[in-house]
Amino acid sequence: MSSAGMESAHAEKRAEEILSSGARLAGKYMTFKLADEEYGLEILKVREIIGLMDITRVPKTAGYIRGVINLRGKVIPVVDLRLKFGMARTENTDQTVIIVVQYSNENSDYTMGILVDEVLEVLNIDSGQIEPPPSFGGTIESEFILGIGKSDKRVIFLLDIGRVLTEGDASGLSSLVEA
């Protein structure tokens, strides 16, 4: 399948979009760590950060879905972002937290928890500090990335969390098959 060409074209188009709206991307980001990498979430999509709690496994679902938790009476799913990105699963530490994010997609609101290794800080990133996402040659990551933020020589991948969590369903199916 000659999808690689199409994909890169798609990525370029996205890059243009992002460049043109570079100013839109400027703002506050909540940064967190997965392994040694730093990621950023638009602060407006973060509802709260909660410590690790008992997660009920939901059988027969995608591997990256760790299960569901009780968020003050509401049941929400928790996604292990490491597994989502195809990274190795690690043991939970006392730094492991769940970031509760809220976003809208196609007229419905989603509330989900994402499991990350460590929460860092809230960063203000100017439009000048943001670069368009590089092409990784059609890997899924570039789809999930709004742009790359630079701050004090640190590189922060700014995530399009809605895309990460929603579009993951397709890859979720494939990981279900592999599981």
Partner 1 sequence: MNIEALLEWVDDFAAVVITTETPDTECLAQSRAILVKIQEEISEGVLPEIEKRLSVCIAVIDKLHHQDEAAKESEFQSLLPYLAEIQNLLRKGKASNRISLSSDTEEEHAVDDDADEESDHFQLPEYVDQEVYKEFLSNFGHVLEEIEQDILLLEKGSASAKADLKRKIHTLKGEAGVLSLDDVEMVCHAVEDLLGENLPARTTTDLLLETVDWMRRAGKRYADFQYPEPRGDYQIAQLKNRNSDATDSPALISETEATYGVVQVSQANEPSADDLSVKDSGNDVIHVNWDEETVTLVGEFLEESEEGLSHADQILMNIDHSGMEPEKVNALFRTFHTIKGVSGFLELAEITKLAHTTETMLDQVREGKYALEGPVLDLVFDSTELMRRMLKAVRAAVENGGAIQKEFGLNAQIHKLNEVIKGRMPEADELLEVAPGEKLGQILLKSNVPPSVIDAALKAQVESGRPLGEELVAQGNVKPKEVSQALRAQRISAESASVKIKETVKVDLERVDRLVEMIGELVIVESMVVHADEIASLASLKVRTYLSQLEKITRDLQDTGMRMRMVPVRGVFQKMARMVRDLARKSGKSVRMVTAGEGTEMDRSMVEQVTDPLVHMIRNAVDHAIESAEVRKAAGKQLEGSVTLSAYHEGGSIVIEIADDGKGLDRDAIVDKAIRQGMIAGGDQLTDSEIFKLIFAPGFSTAAKVTEISGRGVGMDVVKRNIESMRGRISIESEKGRGTTFKLILPLTLAIIDGMLVSCGSEKYIVPTLSIVESLQVSPAMVNSFAEKGELINVRGEIFPLIRMAQLFEIEDGSPASTDGLVVVIEGVGKKVALFVDDVLTQQQVVIKSLGNGIQKTPFISGGAIMSDGTVGLILNVEEIAALVDKRSNKKLENAINATGIRTQTTANAPVSGALNLKREAAMHQVQKENTL
* Contact set with partner 1 (CB under 8 A): 54, 56-61, 65, 67-70, 72-77, 79, 108, 110-112, 165, 169-174, 176-177
Write down the least CB distance from residue 52 to partner 1, Å: 13
Closer residue to partner 1 (CB): 123 or 159: 159
For residue 50, CA distances in Å to 35, 71, 101, 132 come to: 19, 9, 11, 31
Closer residue to partner 1 (CB): 5 or 73: 73
Write down the least CB distance from residue 89 to partner 1, Å: 14
Write down the least CB distance from residue 154 to partner 1, Å: 30
Yes or no: say if 137 and 52 are a contact pair by the CB < 8 Å rule: no
Q: What is the DSSP secondary-structure string of 31-83?
A: EEEETTEEEEEEGGGEEEEEE----B--TTS-TTEEEEEEETTEEEEEEEHHH
Closer residue to partner 1 (CB): 96 or 151: 96
Closer residue to partner 1 (CB): 56 or 93: 56
Residue keyed to tokens 């410590």:
51
